[in-house]
Structure 1
Amino acid sequence: MKKLLYIGNKLNSHGFNKTSIETLGSFLAEEGYIVEYTSDKKNQVVRLFDMMITTFFRAKKVDYILIDTYSTSSFWYAFLCSQIASFFKTKYIPLLRGGDLPNRLNKNPYLCKLIFKHSYANVAPSNYLLEKFKERGFKNVIFIPNSIELKDYQFKKRTVIQPKILWVRSFAKIYNPKMAVEVLKLLKEKYPIASLTMVGPDKDGSLLETKEFAKSLNLEVNFTGKLSKNEWTDLAAEYDIFINTTHFDNTPISVIEAMALGLPVVTTNVGGIPYMLTNGQNALLVGDNATVAMVQAVEILLTETPLAQNLIDNAKILIESMDWQQVKYQWHNLLA
């Protein structure tokens, strides 16, 4: 069976949410691939050196190197490790995770060419990044969607929608968590029973900022901190609407999981989201940081039951196409 080296931020043991390296990596291992990982070092600099050293010593001993590729600071480990793989003539595959990668293509065109032109393939989990990379002349880009094991999610049919709001993400400025609190504030003016639970670990100090913001508005928000997938998916049964407030995104797993649980989704239409979801068909989409519009979209779900049910049903159909049992064949073909 093929041997893989998977490079990414494997930080779940340090209190961070699971990323692709811990989900896709596990899926591939279950399919029989021999998967090695780097890195689980918490310190970013130490993690970078661990990734580079591991790549240097393991490149000639694996068949493929998978590299989670983001658009901000983590872009640099992708660049450096890809060049080590290239030096050893090992096939490497950047997995395009960063919703803001098109801006990175503009900012560092030469470095991006070194990574993406010489890769075995570039895997785009969204049609958004597929399109943007092809526009820039990268022909070796293929679409393989983010996936989940659908059998692990209990779909709940919601016949009555209440203003019980759930938000699940790491607390970071790019995910705009304070917008969720603003949504609750406006909702409570008309729906005093409205509630908000926010699930996720802190990433850059935004958790404390969001808590203080809620307190300044005299709002009671339930902050759970980091929960396991089983914990938050069980919790989701108590809620009726999922909101996603991010400034940048690609194909967020938390949104996919929410739809698999039967939660109607209201999200900002940034990055790859409008390439994955269709406004009025399987979700409601609003502008970036458009708090009032998001409140109005939530009200639509509360007052227009047939529309809400239609969104839920169509989202379920979409999610079925992202089930690992469907997606795995695309990975088998790529790694054959």
Structure 2
Amino acid sequence: MANQCEQLLRLWEREGLAVTLVRNNAPYQPAWVARVPVLRAAFRLLPYLWRLWSAAGRCDVMHVLANSGWAWHLFAWPAVAIGRLRGCAVIVNYRGGNADRFFSSGPRHVLRTLARAQLRVTPSAFLLRVFREHGLDAEVIPNIIDLTRFAPAPRPDFGDAPHLIVTRNLEPIYDIGTALRAFALVRRTFPGARLTVAGSGPDLPVLQALAVSLGISTAVRFSGRIDNAQIGALYASADGVLNPSTVDNMPISILEAFASGVPTVSTDAGGIPDLLTHGVDGLLVPIGDADAMARAALSVLQDPALAERLRRAGLATAQRYAWPRVREQWLDAYRRAAGLRANVATRVPQ
């Protein structure tokens, strides 16, 4: 979500649109507040609400990037409420892969708040189906891939040392452990194989210990989060991407792999099958199945013709999510949302 927000901001500013970013994770001021749990929540939330109130008074459309759980209650719900109070159109751009569970078990005001937005937008048909199951209309505007930042690079023959990468955060829902176990199996066939795990998160110590227990610690690099400006170089160095997530919607990491011409093996979680077609532009495996992930990775590494077919198809898929196409969809959504809000504001009760 942060990745898409950053891209939208940069691309709209490049085109001369007046855009104000209101972050819910702005740096703490003063910095020492970050070490005090309760205090840091107040120091982040209160300035966020004030900046929302101020920005909503100057804008025509509020584009709210929303997720499930506490993130909805603390950040998205106040944004929708403030937008409505300040009289600007509100688009809820919902991205939570756990949406069905959240809508089913969450407070009733979640669905009521969503219903009050001028438009509800999701990046995938998967979430569109979830919204409809809960009685909400929505539309799909897909994630953006900025093709100026990613391009296929010629890769030399890797011999017995292919480079695989994982570009997900180190959190339980992304199940990096399955990727490590799969990589350990790949190493039996390719003893020189390397794995880069590009992401940060609370599972780092556990995953480092798992790599040691699997005997692959010297072949695995936990690089931490790689900035968007440098991530293209990581894909250019890769011979394959592993995506082991257990909950997902429309991961931008898969689009980045497609645009970089890197064969991708992913679990079939959530909305991924709506993005990646098995055997066409990537390979799908069951969630949590390290053996299946290893077999799929080996089939790509051992079959250059298959790898080339996946690369070409992935590049074609990425074109569907390029900015020139998605740009027009967002502009149309902004115009329609502003029009709907104007109609509500001028409607005369009968």
Q: What's the offset of the Cα at 1:151?
A: 2.0
Matched, 1:154 2:151: yes
Q: Which residue of 2 aligns with 1:69?
A: 66
| Comparing 254-263 and 300-309, the one that deviates more | 300-309
Q: 1:41 aligns with which of 9, 26, 30?
A: 26
Say if 2:20 and 2:55, in contact at 8 Å, map to a contact too.
no
Q: Which amino acid aligns with 1:23?
A: Q
Q: Which residue of 2 aligns with 1:78?
A: 76
Q: Which residue of 2 aligns with 1:110?
A: 108
Say if 1:160 and 1:305, in contact at 8 Å, map to a contact too.
no
Aligned residue for 1:28, secondary structure, equals helix
Report the identity percentage: 27
Q: Which residue of 2 aligns with 1:143?
A: 140
Equivalent-residue separation in structure 2 for 1:235 and 1:276 (angstroms)? 22
Q: Which residue of 2 aligns with 1:303?
A: 302
Q: Deviation string for 1:10-59 (max 9, x for gaps)?
A: xxxxxxxx432222122222222211122242455533333322222332
| Comparing 62-71 and 39-48, the one that deviates more | 39-48
Q: Which residue of 1 aligns with 2:5?
A: 21
Equivalent-residue separation in structure 2 for 1:283 and 1:292 (angstroms)? 17
- For normalisation by structure 1, the TM-score amounts to 0.88
Say if 1:301 and 1:308, in contact at 8 Å, map to a contact too.
yes
Q: Which residue of 2 aligns with 1:3?
A: none
Matched, 1:178 2:163: no
Q: Which amino acid aligns with 1:283?
A: G
Q: What's the offset of the Cα at 1:159?
A: 8.4
Q: Which residue of 1 aligns with 2:269?
A: 270
Q: Deviation string for 1:95-120 (max 9, x for gaps)?
A: 11111112111112622222211111
Structure ID, larger Rg: 2
Equivalent-residue separation in structure 1 for 2:239 and 2:187 (angstroms)? 16
Say if 2:4 and 2:144, in contact at 8 Å, map to a contact too.
no
Aligned residue for 2:255, secondary structure, equals helix
Say if 2:127 and 2:271, in contact at 8 Å, map to a contact too.
yes
Q: Deviation string for 1:253-295 (max 9, x for gaps)?
A: 1111111111000011111111111111111011111111101
Q: Which amino acid aligns with 2:12?
A: L
Q: Which residue of 1 aligns with 2:348?
A: none
Q: Which amino acid aligns with 2:126?
A: Y
Aligned residue for 1:148, secondary structure, equals coil
Equivalent-residue separation in structure 1 for 2:127 and 2:182 (angstroms)? 29
Q: What's the offset of the Cα at 1:161?
A: 7.0
Say if 2:155 and 2:237, in contact at 8 Å, map to a contact too.
no
Matched, 1:227 2:226: yes
Q: Which residue of 1 aligns with 2:53?
A: 56
Q: Which residue of 2 aligns with 1:123?
A: 121
Q: What's the offset of the Cα at 1:82?
A: 1.1
Say if 2:164 and 2:193, in contact at 8 Å, map to a contact too.
yes
Equivalent-residue separation in structure 1 for 2:257 and 2:112 (angstroms)? 37
Matched, 1:99 2:84: no
Matched, 1:216 2:213: yes
Q: What's the offset of the Cα at 1:124?
A: 0.8
Q: How does 1:186-335 map to 2 (within 5 A)?
A: 186-200=185-199, 202-203=200-201, 205-219=202-216, 220=218, 221-335=220-334
Say if 1:149 and 1:325, in contact at 8 Å, map to a contact too.
no
Q: Which residue of 2 aligns with 1:15?
A: none
Say if 1:79 and 1:111, in contact at 8 Å, map to a contact too.
no
Q: What's the offset of the Cα at 1:182?
A: 0.8
Q: Which amino acid aligns with 1:239?
A: A
Instruction: Structure 2 unaligned segments of length 5 or more: list them.
Output: 28-39, 336-350
Q: Which residue of 1 aligns with 2:88?
A: 90
Equivalent-residue separation in structure 2 for 1:299 and 1:218 (angstroms)? 19
Q: Which residue of 1 aligns with 2:339?
A: none
Q: Which amino acid aligns with 2:323?
A: W
Q: How many residues align?
A: 317
Q: Deviation string for 1:171-213 (max 9, x for gaps)?
A: 212111122211111112232122211112x22x212221122
Q: Which amino acid aligns with 1:67?
A: V
| Structure ranking higher in strand proportion | 1
Matched, 1:132 2:130: yes
Closer, same or farther in 2 for the Cα pair 1:268/1:193, shift >3 Å?
A: same
Say if 1:180 and 1:245, in contact at 8 Å, map to a contact too.
yes
Q: What's the offset of the Cα at 1:135?
A: 2.5
Q: Deviation string for 1:282-328 (max 9, x for gaps)?
A: 11011111111101111211233322221111111110011112210
Say if 1:161 and 1:305, in contact at 8 Å, map to a contact too.
no
Say if 2:67 and 2:96, in contact at 8 Å, map to a contact too.
yes
Q: Which residue of 1 aligns with 2:167?
A: 168
CA RMSD of aligned residues (A): 2.0
Aligned residue for 2:256, secondary structure, equals helix
Equivalent-residue separation in structure 1 for 2:42 and 2:124 (angstroms)? 29
